[in-house]
Amino acid sequence: MKDLLTPRPWVLLAFALLAVLGRVALPHWPHLPNFAPLDSLALFGGAYFARRHWAVLVPLLGVWLSDLVLNYQYLGHVELFYSGFYWQYGTYALLALLAHAGLRGRVSAGRVAGAGLGAAAVFFLISNFGVWLGSTTYPQTGAGLLTCYAAGLPFITHSLLSNLFYCMVLFGGFELAQRRFPVLAYARSPRLARA
């Protein structure tokens, strides 16, 4: 409870909200499919929230809320969960946990860029596997899986670009905010301050 009395978690939530609003307000900007802040949001949450449950829940809640809005915009009704959502949501949870283990307290431009590139690859592998597994289009064979991955290749470029862009915005923005307002920085000790 004491954590909520500090500005850090509120500013982190504000950054997450900005990413969600960006996804909803500009769903196809710059008109590239898969150009979205979702992988970056999962990495951001994992890297900056000290408590693991917040590191996972904040990005997942952001993805879910923006999915509700976008599904309503495109389908004309609220759809709580779409078919196969668990592959995407599971991947975002995994990315947040990996970032929590690998980036928390060790954020640098190189690490974040590597995490962004790795996140695009992980999302590509898991989400396309889920598409193949639940598909009637691709045969349930090794060749069918490879065909499914090949069909997804045009989208990975957009994911890579969006991860680099949104990681720069989220991580760069928060790092600048911490430098400008030292109260946002956590203590750099073996036991990181809670946020």
At 49-98, the pLDDT tens digits run: 989 999 999 999 999 999 999 888 888 888 898 888 999 999 999 999 99
Looking at residue 35, what is its pLDDT? 84
The per-residue pLDDT of the chain, averaged, comes to 88
Burial class (CB in 10 A: 0-12, 13-18, 19+), 101: exposed
- Residue 190 — pLDDT band, cuts 50, 70, 90? very low
Looking at residue 136, what is its pLDDT? 87
Looking at residue 189, what is its pLDDT? 35
Q: What is the mean pLDDT of residues 126-153?
A: 94
- Residue 4 — pLDDT band, cuts 50, 70, 90? low
Closest C-alpha among 105, 114, 116 to residue 159: 116
Looking at residue 193, what is its pLDDT? 44
Looking at residue 24, what is its pLDDT? 84
Contact 36, 161 (CB under 8 A): no
